[in-house]
A and B are shown apart, each in its own frame.
Chain A
Amino acid sequence: MPFFHSVKQLRRLILLLILLAGWEFASRYILDKTQATLLPPPSGVLNGAIELGFSGELWKHIRDSLAREFIAFCYASVAIPLGIVMGCFKWVNEQVDPIIEILRPIPPIAWIPLSILWFGVGNTQNQFIIFLGIFFPILLNTIDAVKNIEPNLIRAARCLGARGWNVITRVVLRAALPQIVTGIRIGLGVGWMALVAAELVGANSGLGFLINDARTVLRTDYILDGMLAIGLIGLTLDRLIRYAAKKFMPWSRALNA
Protein backbone atom coordinates (compact mmCIF):
# COMPACT_ATOMS: atom_id res chain seq x y z
CA MET A 1 0.00 0.00 0.00
CA PRO A 2 1.39 3.41 -0.93
CA PHE A 3 1.21 4.88 2.54
CA PHE A 4 3.28 2.12 4.02
CA HIS A 5 5.76 2.33 1.18
CA SER A 6 6.54 5.97 1.87
CA VAL A 7 6.70 5.40 5.62
CA LYS A 8 9.34 2.76 5.04
CA GLN A 9 11.28 5.16 2.83
CA LEU A 10 11.08 7.91 5.45
CA ARG A 11 12.44 5.50 8.03
CA ARG A 12 15.78 5.49 6.20
CA LEU A 13 16.21 9.21 6.76
CA ILE A 14 16.10 9.03 10.53
CA LEU A 15 19.85 8.90 11.19
CA LEU A 16 20.47 11.55 8.55
CA LEU A 17 17.94 13.91 10.12
CA ILE A 18 19.41 13.34 13.55
CA LEU A 19 22.89 14.19 12.28
CA LEU A 20 21.61 17.28 10.49
CA ALA A 21 19.82 18.44 13.60
CA GLY A 22 22.95 17.85 15.66
CA TRP A 23 25.01 19.77 13.15
CA GLU A 24 22.53 22.65 13.18
CA PHE A 25 22.61 22.80 16.92
CA ALA A 26 26.39 22.53 17.18
CA SER A 27 27.08 25.19 14.59
CA ARG A 28 24.61 27.63 16.07
CA TYR A 29 25.12 27.20 19.80
CA ILE A 30 28.31 25.31 20.52
CA LEU A 31 30.92 26.56 18.10
CA ASP A 32 32.33 30.03 18.67
CA LYS A 33 32.13 32.63 15.94
CA THR A 34 35.43 31.74 14.29
CA GLN A 35 34.71 28.04 14.21
CA ALA A 36 31.21 28.68 12.92
CA THR A 37 32.72 30.36 9.90
CA LEU A 38 34.46 27.10 9.10
CA LEU A 39 31.33 25.02 9.51
CA PRO A 40 28.10 26.92 8.92
CA PRO A 41 24.88 25.20 9.96
CA PRO A 42 22.69 23.40 7.41
CA SER A 43 20.33 26.35 7.52
CA GLY A 44 23.24 28.59 6.55
CA VAL A 45 24.13 26.31 3.69
CA LEU A 46 20.55 26.40 2.50
CA ASN A 47 20.49 30.18 2.71
CA GLY A 48 23.68 30.38 0.72
CA ALA A 49 22.17 28.16 -1.94
CA ILE A 50 19.13 30.39 -2.21
CA GLU A 51 21.37 33.45 -2.52
CA LEU A 52 23.43 31.86 -5.24
CA GLY A 53 20.31 30.68 -6.97
CA PHE A 54 18.56 34.00 -7.02
CA SER A 55 21.61 35.98 -8.01
CA GLY A 56 21.99 33.71 -11.01
CA GLU A 57 25.55 32.90 -10.07
CA LEU A 58 24.90 29.25 -9.35
CA TRP A 59 23.33 28.62 -12.73
CA LYS A 60 26.13 30.41 -14.52
CA HIS A 61 28.72 28.21 -12.88
CA ILE A 62 26.72 25.06 -13.49
CA ARG A 63 26.24 26.02 -17.13
CA ASP A 64 29.92 26.72 -17.66
CA SER A 65 30.99 23.46 -16.04
CA LEU A 66 28.49 21.42 -17.99
CA ALA A 67 29.50 23.14 -21.21
CA ARG A 68 33.12 22.15 -20.65
CA GLU A 69 32.16 18.60 -19.82
CA PHE A 70 30.03 18.37 -22.94
CA ILE A 71 32.62 19.80 -25.31
CA ALA A 72 35.34 17.58 -23.86
CA PHE A 73 32.99 14.63 -24.32
CA CYS A 74 32.50 15.50 -27.97
CA TYR A 75 36.24 15.30 -28.51
CA ALA A 76 36.63 12.22 -26.34
CA SER A 77 34.05 10.31 -28.34
CA VAL A 78 36.81 9.74 -30.89
CA ALA A 79 37.59 6.88 -28.52
CA ILE A 80 34.62 4.99 -29.95
CA PRO A 81 35.78 4.59 -33.55
CA LEU A 82 39.34 4.13 -32.32
CA GLY A 83 38.20 1.42 -29.94
CA ILE A 84 36.23 -0.32 -32.67
CA VAL A 85 39.21 -0.33 -35.00
CA MET A 86 41.49 -1.55 -32.23
CA GLY A 87 39.00 -4.25 -31.28
CA CYS A 88 38.55 -5.44 -34.86
CA PHE A 89 42.10 -5.35 -36.13
CA LYS A 90 44.71 -7.14 -34.10
CA TRP A 91 47.65 -5.31 -35.68
CA VAL A 92 46.21 -1.90 -34.83
CA ASN A 93 45.67 -3.01 -31.26
CA GLU A 94 49.21 -4.32 -31.07
CA GLN A 95 50.70 -1.00 -32.10
CA VAL A 96 48.42 1.42 -30.28
CA ASP A 97 48.02 -0.49 -27.04
CA PRO A 98 51.55 0.20 -25.67
CA ILE A 99 50.98 3.92 -26.14
CA ILE A 100 47.65 3.73 -24.36
CA GLU A 101 49.09 1.71 -21.52
CA ILE A 102 51.79 4.33 -20.93
CA LEU A 103 49.41 7.29 -21.00
CA ARG A 104 46.44 5.80 -19.22
CA PRO A 105 47.95 5.43 -15.73
CA ILE A 106 48.79 9.13 -15.60
CA PRO A 107 45.82 10.75 -13.84
CA PRO A 108 44.26 13.67 -15.75
CA ILE A 109 45.08 15.92 -12.80
CA ALA A 110 48.79 15.26 -13.28
CA TRP A 111 48.50 16.83 -16.71
CA ILE A 112 47.44 20.18 -15.26
CA PRO A 113 50.86 21.86 -15.06
CA LEU A 114 51.80 20.83 -18.60
CA SER A 115 48.41 21.80 -19.94
CA ILE A 116 48.70 25.28 -18.44
CA LEU A 117 52.05 25.74 -20.16
CA TRP A 118 50.55 24.51 -23.43
CA PHE A 119 47.14 26.18 -23.39
CA GLY A 120 47.39 28.85 -20.76
CA VAL A 121 44.57 29.18 -18.30
CA GLY A 122 41.06 28.99 -19.69
CA ASN A 123 38.45 26.86 -21.39
CA THR A 124 40.79 24.97 -23.66
CA GLN A 125 43.01 23.87 -20.83
CA ASN A 126 39.99 22.80 -18.80
CA GLN A 127 38.54 20.84 -21.67
CA PHE A 128 41.86 19.14 -22.29
CA ILE A 129 42.01 17.80 -18.75
CA ILE A 130 38.38 16.71 -18.84
CA PHE A 131 38.98 15.07 -22.23
CA LEU A 132 41.73 12.93 -20.72
CA GLY A 133 39.35 11.80 -18.01
CA ILE A 134 36.56 10.84 -20.39
CA PHE A 135 38.68 9.32 -23.14
CA PHE A 136 40.25 6.26 -21.53
CA PRO A 137 37.19 4.62 -19.94
CA ILE A 138 35.34 4.92 -23.24
CA LEU A 139 38.27 3.52 -25.19
CA LEU A 140 38.84 0.56 -22.92
CA ASN A 141 35.17 -0.34 -22.71
CA THR A 142 34.78 -0.06 -26.46
CA ILE A 143 37.74 -2.35 -27.15
CA ASP A 144 36.49 -4.83 -24.60
CA ALA A 145 32.98 -4.72 -26.02
CA VAL A 146 34.18 -5.40 -29.54
CA LYS A 147 36.47 -8.22 -28.45
CA ASN A 148 33.67 -9.86 -26.50
CA ILE A 149 31.01 -9.83 -29.20
CA GLU A 150 29.42 -13.23 -29.55
CA PRO A 151 31.27 -14.65 -32.58
CA ASN A 152 28.12 -16.26 -33.95
CA LEU A 153 26.54 -12.85 -34.37
CA ILE A 154 29.26 -11.95 -36.83
CA ARG A 155 28.96 -15.32 -38.54
CA ALA A 156 25.19 -14.98 -38.74
CA ALA A 157 25.51 -11.58 -40.38
CA ARG A 158 28.02 -12.88 -42.89
CA CYS A 159 25.98 -15.89 -43.88
CA LEU A 160 23.03 -13.56 -44.46
CA GLY A 161 25.10 -11.66 -46.99
CA ALA A 162 26.74 -8.89 -44.94
CA ARG A 163 30.33 -8.05 -45.79
CA GLY A 164 33.08 -5.74 -44.56
CA TRP A 165 31.69 -2.33 -43.71
CA ASN A 166 28.13 -3.61 -43.26
CA VAL A 167 29.30 -6.04 -40.61
CA ILE A 168 30.93 -3.24 -38.66
CA THR A 169 28.09 -0.75 -38.80
CA ARG A 170 25.16 -3.14 -38.60
CA VAL A 171 26.50 -5.66 -36.14
CA VAL A 172 29.74 -4.73 -34.37
CA LEU A 173 28.66 -1.23 -33.44
CA ARG A 174 25.18 -2.29 -32.33
CA ALA A 175 26.36 -5.30 -30.38
CA ALA A 176 29.06 -3.28 -28.62
CA LEU A 177 26.79 -0.35 -27.86
CA PRO A 178 25.61 -1.34 -24.35
CA GLN A 179 29.15 -1.61 -23.08
CA ILE A 180 30.21 1.51 -24.94
CA VAL A 181 27.45 3.34 -23.11
CA THR A 182 28.78 1.97 -19.83
CA GLY A 183 32.17 3.34 -20.84
CA ILE A 184 30.57 6.72 -21.54
CA ARG A 185 28.88 6.72 -18.17
CA ILE A 186 32.11 5.91 -16.36
CA GLY A 187 34.07 8.33 -18.53
CA LEU A 188 31.73 11.20 -17.78
CA GLY A 189 32.14 10.46 -14.09
CA VAL A 190 35.92 10.52 -14.27
CA GLY A 191 35.74 13.59 -16.49
CA TRP A 192 33.55 15.36 -13.97
CA MET A 193 36.10 14.75 -11.23
CA ALA A 194 38.89 15.98 -13.48
CA LEU A 195 36.77 19.03 -14.27
CA VAL A 196 36.64 20.10 -10.64
CA ALA A 197 40.42 19.85 -10.33
CA ALA A 198 41.03 21.70 -13.58
CA GLU A 199 38.65 24.48 -12.62
CA LEU A 200 40.23 24.80 -9.19
CA VAL A 201 43.48 25.98 -10.73
CA GLY A 202 42.72 27.11 -14.21
CA ALA A 203 39.34 28.75 -14.63
CA ASN A 204 37.34 31.79 -13.67
CA SER A 205 33.93 30.22 -13.78
CA GLY A 206 32.38 26.88 -13.10
CA LEU A 207 31.70 24.91 -9.95
CA GLY A 208 35.36 24.11 -9.30
CA PHE A 209 36.15 27.79 -9.56
CA LEU A 210 33.19 28.63 -7.30
CA ILE A 211 34.34 26.51 -4.40
CA ASN A 212 37.91 27.79 -4.55
CA ASP A 213 36.84 31.38 -5.01
CA ALA A 214 34.45 31.10 -2.07
CA ARG A 215 37.38 29.92 0.04
CA THR A 216 39.28 33.11 -0.60
CA VAL A 217 36.43 35.17 0.85
CA LEU A 218 35.67 32.69 3.63
CA ARG A 219 32.16 31.96 2.32
CA THR A 220 32.15 28.41 3.61
CA ASP A 221 28.44 28.15 2.95
CA TYR A 222 29.11 28.76 -0.73
CA ILE A 223 31.85 26.13 -0.66
CA LEU A 224 29.45 23.56 0.71
CA ASP A 225 26.79 24.62 -1.77
CA GLY A 226 29.27 24.18 -4.59
CA MET A 227 30.32 20.76 -3.32
CA LEU A 228 26.74 19.60 -3.08
CA ALA A 229 26.00 20.89 -6.56
CA ILE A 230 29.04 19.05 -7.91
CA GLY A 231 27.91 15.82 -6.29
CA LEU A 232 24.30 16.23 -7.31
CA ILE A 233 25.06 16.97 -10.95
CA GLY A 234 27.53 14.12 -11.16
CA LEU A 235 24.88 11.80 -9.76
CA THR A 236 22.20 13.13 -12.09
CA LEU A 237 24.38 12.63 -15.18
CA ASP A 238 25.02 9.08 -14.10
CA ARG A 239 21.36 8.34 -13.44
CA LEU A 240 20.25 9.95 -16.68
CA ILE A 241 22.55 7.74 -18.71
CA ARG A 242 21.45 4.63 -16.83
CA TYR A 243 17.83 5.52 -17.45
CA ALA A 244 18.37 6.26 -21.13
CA ALA A 245 20.32 3.02 -21.56
CA LYS A 246 17.53 0.98 -19.98
CA LYS A 247 14.97 2.66 -22.15
CA PHE A 248 16.75 2.44 -25.49
CA MET A 249 18.50 -0.87 -25.06
CA PRO A 250 16.05 -3.02 -23.08
CA TRP A 251 17.51 -6.22 -24.47
CA SER A 252 20.90 -5.75 -22.84
CA ARG A 253 21.38 -7.86 -19.77
CA ALA A 254 24.53 -5.92 -18.90
CA LEU A 255 22.66 -2.65 -18.66
CA ASN A 256 19.53 -3.97 -17.04
CA ALA A 257 20.84 -6.36 -14.43
Chain B
Amino acid sequence: MSALKVEHLSKIYPALNGQGQAVQALENVSLEVNKNEFVSILGHSGCGKTTLLNLIAGFEVPTAGRIECAGKEVKEPGADRSMVFQDYALFPWLTVRDNIAFGLSIKGIDSATIKKDVEHFAALVGLSAFIESYPHQLSGGMRQRVSIARALAVDPTVLLMDEPFAALDAQNRSMMQKEMIRILAEESKTVVLVTHSIEESINLSDVIIVMTRRPGRVKKVIRVPEPRRMVEDTPSYLEVRKQIRDLISDEHDLSEVS
Protein backbone atom coordinates (compact mmCIF):
# COMPACT_ATOMS: atom_id res chain seq x y z
CA MET B 1 0.00 0.00 0.00
CA SER B 2 1.47 3.33 -0.97
CA ALA B 3 1.71 6.14 1.51
CA LEU B 4 -0.13 8.55 -0.75
CA LYS B 5 -2.15 8.05 -3.87
CA VAL B 6 -3.59 10.81 -6.00
CA GLU B 7 -5.96 9.69 -8.74
CA HIS B 8 -7.22 11.85 -11.59
CA LEU B 9 -7.33 14.93 -9.44
CA SER B 10 -8.85 18.09 -10.87
CA LYS B 11 -9.54 21.41 -9.24
CA ILE B 12 -11.57 24.19 -10.77
CA TYR B 13 -12.17 27.48 -9.03
CA PRO B 14 -15.51 28.94 -10.11
CA ALA B 15 -15.79 32.53 -11.29
CA LEU B 16 -16.25 34.95 -8.39
CA ASN B 17 -19.77 36.29 -8.09
CA GLY B 18 -20.41 35.42 -11.71
CA GLN B 19 -17.65 37.75 -12.86
CA GLY B 20 -14.54 36.78 -14.76
CA GLN B 21 -13.50 33.27 -15.70
CA ALA B 22 -13.49 30.01 -13.87
CA VAL B 23 -9.90 28.91 -13.28
CA GLN B 24 -8.77 25.33 -13.68
CA ALA B 25 -5.84 24.98 -11.34
CA LEU B 26 -5.27 21.25 -11.78
CA GLU B 27 -6.23 18.84 -14.51
CA ASN B 28 -6.24 15.10 -14.17
CA VAL B 29 -3.23 14.82 -11.89
CA SER B 30 -2.25 11.35 -10.78
CA LEU B 31 0.72 10.37 -8.68
CA GLU B 32 1.81 7.83 -6.15
CA VAL B 33 4.20 8.20 -3.27
CA ASN B 34 5.78 5.16 -1.66
CA LYS B 35 6.69 4.85 1.98
CA ASN B 36 9.77 6.87 2.99
CA GLU B 37 10.03 8.39 -0.46
CA PHE B 38 10.85 12.07 -0.82
CA VAL B 39 8.81 13.55 -3.64
CA SER B 40 9.20 17.11 -4.88
CA ILE B 41 6.54 18.88 -6.87
CA LEU B 42 8.24 21.45 -9.02
CA GLY B 43 6.91 24.13 -11.30
CA HIS B 44 6.38 27.80 -11.98
CA SER B 45 4.12 29.90 -9.82
CA GLY B 46 0.55 29.39 -10.89
CA CYS B 47 1.12 25.79 -11.95
CA GLY B 48 -1.13 24.55 -9.19
CA LYS B 49 1.52 22.92 -7.02
CA THR B 50 0.36 24.64 -3.86
CA THR B 51 -3.25 23.82 -4.76
CA LEU B 52 -2.19 20.20 -5.10
CA LEU B 53 -0.58 20.27 -1.68
CA ASN B 54 -3.60 21.96 -0.14
CA LEU B 55 -5.83 19.26 -1.58
CA ILE B 56 -3.61 16.53 -0.18
CA ALA B 57 -3.61 18.33 3.18
CA GLY B 58 -7.37 18.46 3.08
CA PHE B 59 -7.62 22.26 3.25
CA GLU B 60 -9.55 22.21 -0.01
CA VAL B 61 -11.85 19.76 -1.70
CA PRO B 62 -11.17 18.41 -5.22
CA THR B 63 -13.56 19.08 -8.08
CA ALA B 64 -12.88 15.60 -9.39
CA GLY B 65 -10.65 12.69 -8.47
CA ARG B 66 -9.56 11.07 -5.27
CA ILE B 67 -6.77 11.26 -2.75
CA GLU B 68 -5.83 8.36 -0.52
CA CYS B 69 -3.41 8.43 2.37
CA ALA B 70 -2.37 5.01 3.70
CA GLY B 71 -5.45 3.56 2.07
CA LYS B 72 -7.88 6.01 3.63
CA GLU B 73 -9.64 8.61 1.51
CA VAL B 74 -8.68 12.16 2.33
CA LYS B 75 -11.67 14.30 3.25
CA GLU B 76 -10.33 16.84 5.75
CA PRO B 77 -7.09 17.92 7.40
CA GLY B 78 -5.52 15.53 9.87
CA ALA B 79 -2.36 14.72 11.75
CA ASP B 80 -1.58 11.94 9.28
CA ARG B 81 -0.71 14.71 6.82
CA SER B 82 0.91 17.44 8.86
CA MET B 83 2.35 20.46 7.07
CA VAL B 84 5.33 22.76 7.29
CA PHE B 85 4.36 26.21 5.99
CA GLN B 86 6.46 28.79 4.19
CA ASP B 87 5.68 31.40 6.84
CA TYR B 88 6.22 28.92 9.69
CA ALA B 89 2.73 29.42 11.19
CA LEU B 90 4.04 28.86 14.69
CA PHE B 91 1.71 29.72 17.55
CA PRO B 92 3.28 32.90 18.91
CA TRP B 93 1.77 32.53 22.35
CA LEU B 94 3.39 29.14 22.90
CA THR B 95 7.01 28.32 23.62
CA VAL B 96 9.00 26.07 21.32
CA ARG B 97 8.21 23.23 23.69
CA ASP B 98 4.46 23.85 23.63
CA ASN B 99 4.42 24.40 19.89
CA ILE B 100 6.01 21.02 19.30
CA ALA B 101 3.71 19.47 21.88
CA PHE B 102 0.56 20.93 20.31
CA GLY B 103 -0.47 17.98 18.20
CA LEU B 104 0.44 15.55 20.94
CA SER B 105 -1.66 17.28 23.56
CA ILE B 106 -4.64 17.25 21.19
CA LYS B 107 -4.27 13.50 20.93
CA GLY B 108 -4.58 13.31 24.69
CA ILE B 109 -1.20 11.75 25.31
CA ASP B 110 0.02 11.83 28.91
CA SER B 111 2.37 14.63 29.88
CA ALA B 112 5.35 12.42 30.69
CA THR B 113 5.33 10.96 27.18
CA ILE B 114 4.77 14.40 25.66
CA LYS B 115 7.78 15.76 27.52
CA LYS B 116 9.94 12.91 26.26
CA ASP B 117 8.74 13.25 22.67
CA VAL B 118 9.08 17.02 22.58
CA GLU B 119 12.63 16.85 23.86
CA HIS B 120 13.43 14.20 21.31
CA PHE B 121 12.17 16.25 18.37
CA ALA B 122 13.68 19.46 19.64
CA ALA B 123 17.03 17.68 19.79
CA LEU B 124 16.43 16.22 16.34
CA VAL B 125 16.16 19.69 14.80
CA GLY B 126 18.98 21.01 16.96
CA LEU B 127 16.96 23.37 19.16
CA SER B 128 17.24 21.78 22.59
CA ALA B 129 18.86 24.92 23.96
CA PHE B 130 15.89 27.05 22.88
CA ILE B 131 13.07 24.85 24.01
CA GLU B 132 11.68 27.45 26.43
CA SER B 133 11.99 30.35 23.99
CA TYR B 134 9.13 32.00 22.17
CA PRO B 135 8.99 32.13 18.38
CA HIS B 136 9.45 35.89 18.32
CA GLN B 137 12.81 35.41 19.99
CA LEU B 138 14.06 33.10 17.25
CA SER B 139 15.50 33.68 13.79
CA GLY B 140 13.71 32.56 10.63
CA GLY B 141 15.74 29.41 10.25
CA MET B 142 15.16 28.44 13.85
CA ARG B 143 11.43 29.03 13.53
CA GLN B 144 11.32 26.76 10.55
CA ARG B 145 13.08 24.06 12.53
CA VAL B 146 10.42 24.34 15.23
CA SER B 147 7.82 24.06 12.51
CA ILE B 148 9.46 20.87 11.24
CA ALA B 149 9.74 19.41 14.72
CA ARG B 150 6.09 20.24 15.39
CA ALA B 151 4.96 18.55 12.19
CA LEU B 152 7.12 15.47 12.82
CA ALA B 153 6.01 15.10 16.43
CA VAL B 154 2.54 13.92 15.40
CA ASP B 155 4.11 11.05 13.45
CA PRO B 156 2.41 11.82 10.14
CA THR B 157 2.05 9.24 7.42
CA VAL B 158 3.16 11.93 4.97
CA LEU B 159 5.00 15.14 5.85
CA LEU B 160 3.87 17.98 3.60
CA MET B 161 6.14 20.95 3.00
CA ASP B 162 4.96 24.07 1.18
CA GLU B 163 8.03 25.94 -0.08
CA PRO B 164 9.37 25.71 3.46
CA PHE B 165 12.72 27.38 2.84
CA ALA B 166 11.59 30.05 0.37
CA ALA B 167 11.53 32.74 3.04
CA LEU B 168 15.13 32.10 4.04
CA ASP B 169 18.22 33.67 2.53
CA ALA B 170 20.35 31.55 0.23
CA GLN B 171 22.82 30.46 2.91
CA ASN B 172 20.18 29.50 5.41
CA ARG B 173 18.23 27.77 2.71
CA SER B 174 21.20 25.64 1.76
CA MET B 175 21.88 24.85 5.39
CA MET B 176 18.28 23.86 6.05
CA GLN B 177 18.38 21.50 3.08
CA LYS B 178 21.39 19.78 4.61
CA GLU B 179 19.60 19.73 7.94
CA MET B 180 16.60 18.12 6.29
CA ILE B 181 18.84 15.39 4.86
CA ARG B 182 20.37 14.80 8.27
CA ILE B 183 16.95 14.66 9.96
CA LEU B 184 15.61 12.21 7.42
CA ALA B 185 18.70 10.05 7.80
CA GLU B 186 17.95 9.77 11.51
CA GLU B 187 14.21 9.35 11.14
CA SER B 188 12.91 8.30 7.78
CA LYS B 189 9.65 9.88 6.68
CA THR B 190 7.51 10.07 3.59
CA VAL B 191 7.73 13.66 2.37
CA VAL B 192 5.96 15.68 -0.30
CA LEU B 193 7.70 18.99 -0.91
CA VAL B 194 6.46 21.82 -3.07
CA THR B 195 9.21 24.04 -4.40
CA HIS B 196 10.11 26.27 -7.30
CA SER B 197 13.81 25.63 -6.80
CA ILE B 198 15.25 23.07 -9.16
CA GLU B 199 18.39 22.70 -7.06
CA GLU B 200 16.37 22.12 -3.93
CA SER B 201 14.39 19.36 -5.56
CA ILE B 202 17.53 17.66 -6.83
CA ASN B 203 19.27 17.94 -3.46
CA LEU B 204 16.46 16.40 -1.46
CA SER B 205 14.28 14.12 -3.56
CA ASP B 206 13.94 10.55 -4.65
CA VAL B 207 11.38 11.60 -7.24
CA ILE B 208 10.75 14.97 -8.86
CA ILE B 209 7.37 15.66 -10.42
CA VAL B 210 7.55 18.49 -12.91
CA MET B 211 4.25 20.25 -13.46
CA THR B 212 3.01 22.08 -16.54
CA ARG B 213 1.75 25.58 -16.20
CA ARG B 214 -1.93 26.19 -15.58
CA PRO B 215 -3.99 24.08 -15.82
CA GLY B 216 -1.45 22.02 -13.88
CA ARG B 217 -0.78 18.56 -15.18
CA VAL B 218 2.06 16.17 -14.51
CA LYS B 219 4.57 16.88 -17.23
CA LYS B 220 7.24 14.42 -16.25
CA VAL B 221 8.29 12.23 -13.36
CA ILE B 222 12.04 12.13 -12.85
CA ARG B 223 13.93 9.70 -10.61
CA VAL B 224 16.98 11.21 -8.99
CA PRO B 225 19.99 8.87 -9.50
CA GLU B 226 21.50 9.22 -6.01
CA PRO B 227 18.88 10.66 -3.69
CA ARG B 228 20.26 13.08 -1.10
CA ARG B 229 23.78 12.31 -2.21
CA MET B 230 23.83 14.47 -5.32
CA VAL B 231 26.83 16.75 -5.42
CA GLU B 232 26.58 20.09 -7.21
CA ASP B 233 28.61 20.61 -10.35
CA THR B 234 29.10 16.89 -10.95
CA PRO B 235 28.06 15.70 -14.44
CA SER B 236 25.14 13.66 -13.14
CA TYR B 237 23.81 16.67 -11.22
CA LEU B 238 24.17 18.99 -14.17
CA GLU B 239 22.45 16.51 -16.41
CA VAL B 240 19.39 16.22 -14.19
CA ARG B 241 19.29 19.96 -13.75
CA LYS B 242 19.46 20.59 -17.47
CA GLN B 243 16.74 18.06 -18.06
CA ILE B 244 14.47 19.79 -15.59
CA ARG B 245 15.36 23.27 -16.81
CA ASP B 246 14.41 22.35 -20.35
CA LEU B 247 11.12 20.92 -19.18
CA ILE B 248 10.32 24.02 -17.22
CA SER B 249 11.40 26.62 -19.74
CA ASP B 250 9.13 24.83 -22.18
CA GLU B 251 6.33 25.93 -19.94
CA HIS B 252 7.50 29.48 -19.69
CA ASP B 253 5.38 31.37 -22.19
CA LEU B 254 7.03 34.76 -22.58
CA SER B 255 4.15 36.10 -24.59
CA GLU B 256 1.94 35.81 -21.53
CA VAL B 257 1.73 38.88 -19.40
CA SER B 258 0.49 37.95 -15.96
Contacts and interface: CB of A to CB of B under 8 A. Distances in A.
B83 A159 contact: yes
Given A160-B106, A160-B150, A155 B135 contact: no
A250 B93 CA distance: 8
Given A153-B91, A159-B77, A250 B83 contact: no
A212 B136 CA distance: 50
Interface of A: 150, 152-153, 155-162, 166, 170-171, 174-175, 177, 249-253
B92 A252 contact: yes
Contacts of A156: 83, 85, 89-91, 150
A158 B83 CA distance: 10
Given A152-B87, A166-B106, A159 B93 contact: no
B89 A155 contact: yes
Contacts of A153: 89, 91
Interface in B86-121: 87, 89-93, 102-103, 106-107
B59 interface: yes
Contact of B106 (A161, A251, A253): A161
B81 A159 contact: yes
15 contacts: A150-B89, A152-B89, A153-B91, A156-B89, A156-B91, A158-B58, A159-B83, A160-B102, A160-B150, A161-B78, A162-B103, A166-B106, A170-B106, A177-B93, A251-B136
A153 B87 CA distance: 10
A250 B103 CA distance: 23
Contacts, number: 74
A166 B91 CA distance: 14
Interface string B141-173: 000000000110010000010000000000000
B79 interface: yes
Contacts of A170: 102, 106
B57 interface: yes
Nearest to A166: B106
A159 B79 CA distance: 5
Contacts of B106: 160-162, 166, 170
Contact of B79 (A152, A155, A161, A166): A161
Given A155-B85, A251-B134, A251-B135, A174 B93 contact: yes
A197 to B, nearest CB: 37
Question: Sorted from nearest, which 6 A-B pairs have the closest CB atoms?
Answer: A160-B103, A161-B79, A152-B89, A158-B77, A156-B89, A251-B92
